Homo-oligomer: A and B are copies of this chain.
Amino acid sequence: MRSGELLYDEELLRSELLSIVPPGYKIRPLSIHDYKKGLMECLESLTVIGNVTEQMFVERFLKMKSKGSYYVTVVVDEVKDKIVATGTLFNEFKFVRSCGTVGHIEDIAVHKDYQGKKLGAIIINNLKNIAIKIQCYKITLNCNNDNIRFYEKCGFSLKDNQMTLYLNGTQKL
């Protein structure tokens, strides 16, 4: 896969942690050619996907790439050439903390047939490494009560409460 087709520089994934990806799997940045590779099926376990056409996927990919702030990462089953886990890191620029940068983790999802293989933890650890390399001073994420223990094992601590407001008649999930 050519580097221009990837959402971010694959070099950011180089580390000793890569060795913990199980045989038969590969971790890489999202590619512009991934529409039919199963990303949406992974994300379905999280929330409403809605209608995402190939054109919408490509346009959103290019918008994310143009911002230079999105690190959507996928684990691929190499035999089936299928995305089986995904997670997003994006960085937020602040004035506080000497104009510091915060990494936000969003949309961690593992395909239902591939759970129990530690693929979620592998995604998190790699996003954590990227956050260090792009010089975030902290990483933050929101999770429900059932996932607190998982994120504690990944090194996170409970801090505050997430509050949300749904707009334009969108249904809460």
Chain A residues engaging chain B, CB cutoff 8 angstroms: 39-40, 43, 46-52, 56-57, 59-60, 63-64, 67, 69-70, 88, 90, 92-100, 104, 106-107, 128, 131-132, 135-145, 148, 151-152, 154-168, 170, 172
Interface residue SS majority, chain A: mixed
- Name the contact of A141 in the complex, choosing from B135, B156, B163, B168 (C-beta under 8 A): B163
A107, A151, A164, A168 — most chain B CB neighbours (10 Å): A164
Whether B165 contacts A143 by the Cβ 8 Å rule is: no
- Name the contact of A157 in the complex, choosing from B88, B131, B135, B164 (C-beta under 8 A): B164
Instruction: State the oligomeric state as a number of copies.
Output: 2
Q: Find the B residue at minimum CB distance from A132.
A: B167
In the complex with contacts A60-B99, A64-B93, A95-B39, A143-B166 CB distance below 8 A: no
Least distance between A92 CB and chain B CB atoms (Å): 6
Whether B170 contacts A163 by the Cβ 8 Å rule is: no
Whether B50 contacts A96 by the Cβ 8 Å rule is: yes
Whether B167 contacts A163 by the Cβ 8 Å rule is: no
Q: Find the B residue at minimum CB distance from A100.
A: B50
Whether A106 contacts B131 by the Cβ 8 Å rule is: no
Whether A163 contacts B168 by the Cβ 8 Å rule is: no
- Name the contact of A165 in the complex, choosing from B70, B106, B155 (C-beta under 8 A): B155
**How many angstroms between the C-alpha atoms of A24 and B115 in the bound complex?**
58
